[in-house]
Structure 1
Amino acid sequence: MINNLLNQFLGASGDAPKTAVRGAGVLGAMPSGLAGGAAAGGIMALLVSNKSARKFAGKAATYGGAAVLGGLAYSAFSNWKKQSNGANTHHNSQKLEQINESSFTAAVDNNNFQLKLLQAMIASAKADGHIDQQEQQRIFEALEQMQLSESTKATLYELMRQPISIGDLANGVDTIEQKSELYLASCFAINLDNATEQAHLDGLAYALRLPFDLAEQLQKQAHQAIHEAA
């Protein structure tokens, strides 16, 4: 149910093929337009103000939102590891040379973690303060019009109402794969046009104990994917 919810959040109907996509030109092979009927790009589009981010969400979700997120996070991780020249061979207790694309896919294919990804995107969307009480009510009214199950709606309402702290997001996220994916998901849901939003991402990177240069690579990866969707 959570995997379907994650895809619906990004804009898919939940039955999209889970084909990981990574590297430059990530959107080149994706079909144009949005998928998923009434929920096409809708939930994330309600939250974020960046039109290109909305387009990316809808296109990425046609391939399965979780799968694309894992593939893009691995691409950023690979670039970071190459640029570090092997200096960082361990992250906490992990041996970085043993990490591959399949480990990123496995990391994101977890219901509890996918719920945390949703929390991270909602928290990022709220970071600039544009989702006030009036805006939140507008989102709830729009969700009511979508063809979503009652359980899905209830989960989204609960996530929207919950106060979500950076500490709560980082709690229990232990592997470099999940840290990268959580941070990347946050990058997609935020519009970096003021210091408050950058401070949110900086605080999240610090709470996750994510290497600064890896966080930078993840931001670049998100920016590239969003730019290609424009």
Structure 2
Amino acid sequence: MNTRGLLDQLLKSGQELLQNNATGQSGKSAGNPLGGLLGGAAGGALGAGAIGLLLGSKKARKVGGQVLTYGGLAALGVVAYKAYSNWQQQQAGQVQAPPRTVDRLPAPEAEIHSHAILRALVAAAKADGHIDDRERQLIDGEVLKLTPDRELQRWIDSELHKPLDPAEVARAAQTPEMAAEMYLASLLMVDQEHFMERAYLDELARQLDLAPALKTELEQQARQSLG
């Protein structure tokens, strides 16, 4: 399955959709420090359809008063790397290797990370229970436009129909870096001011075994770098 390519399109078009909804304009925010990494949203028009359906009625997510705008898999990896590195530096007396985030991996490993991130993205979209059967069918149709991979299409459909289970989602995290990336992707989809969705995020972090300081650092980096 070419999960990496599909996820990259969804994240890039998600940035475009969120910014357009928040500003009423096309294009990228001039104040975004990751602007150079967020360019090239090829296929954005189609991807915006799928990500828009996943986002449901809450297209303009707010985190700390700022719109959270991811712009592609590389950008997500950069933010995860920075957050993870900062957290490592807080661990006194421990010499640790640099984080191996999705933006720093060879293609086969990046594909494994992408699969886990997409699982987290779809699950988080269900955290408020808004995806019904009709919306699932529409999402299936949008995904069909984005990828000819039948196996990937069936997998996404299966994920959409699963009961929401943070523990099951977290089992996809094979490394601590992957867990951090999955949590960042979930932040994109979840309204932290909504009780059910905030509870889902907290439980996901617990199941991912994220240290409280790392969880806080990930949320802070999301606000600072992607606002």
Classify the TM-score, shorter chain. 0.7 to 0.9
Q: Map Cα deviations across residues 70-129 of structure 1 (whole Å, 9 max, x no partner).
A: 2111111122234x3x3373xxxxxxx33315x222399433332121111111111012
Contact persistence 1:47–1:122 (CA under 8 A) = yes
Specify the code of the residue in structure 2 equivalent to 1:100: P
Specify the code of the residue in structure 2 equivalent to 1:29: G
- Give the superposition deviation at 1:204: 1.0
- Give the superposition deviation at 1:7: 1.4
| Residues 45, 223 of structure 1: alpha-carbon distance in 2 compared, 3 angstrom cutoff | farther
- Give the superposition deviation at 1:34: 4.1
Distance 2:220 2:48 in 1: 22
Matched with 1:87 is: 92
CA-based RMSD: 3.1
| Residues 175, 155 of structure 1: alpha-carbon distance in 2 compared, 3 angstrom cutoff | closer
Matched with 1:98 is: 96
| Residues 142, 174 of structure 1: alpha-carbon distance in 2 compared, 3 angstrom cutoff | closer
| Residues 172, 40 of structure 1: alpha-carbon distance in 2 compared, 3 angstrom cutoff | closer
Contact persistence 2:32–2:226 (CA under 8 A) = no
- SS for the counterpart of 1:76 is helix
TM-score by length of 1: 0.72
Stretches of structure 2 that go unaligned for 5 or more consecutive residues are: 14-30
Distance 1:182 1:147 in 2: 22
- SS for the counterpart of 1:137 is helix
Specify the code of the residue in structure 2 equivalent to 1:98: Q
Match of residue 69, structure 2, among 34, 50, 56: 56
Contact persistence 1:34–1:40 (CA under 8 A) = no
Distance 1:200 1:135 in 2: 21
Matched with 2:208 is: 208
Distance 1:225 1:180 in 2: 15
Q: Map Cα deviations across residues 138-174 of structure 1 (whole Å, 9 max, x no partner).
A: 4334445x35315243333232223342111222524
Specify the code of the residue in structure 2 equivalent to 1:215: K
Contact persistence 2:6–2:146 (CA under 8 A) = no
Distance 2:10 2:140 in 1: 14
| Residues 126, 162 of structure 1: alpha-carbon distance in 2 compared, 3 angstrom cutoff | same
Distance 2:111 2:197 in 1: 27
Establish whether residue 43 from structure 1 lines up as the match of residue 50 from structure 2.
yes
Distance 1:197 1:166 in 2: 11
- Aligned-pair identity in percent equals 31
**Count of equivalent residues:** 199
Stretches of structure 1 that go unaligned for 5 or more consecutive residues are: 13-23, 90-96
Extract structure 1 runs of 4+ deviating beyond 6 A.
Answer: none
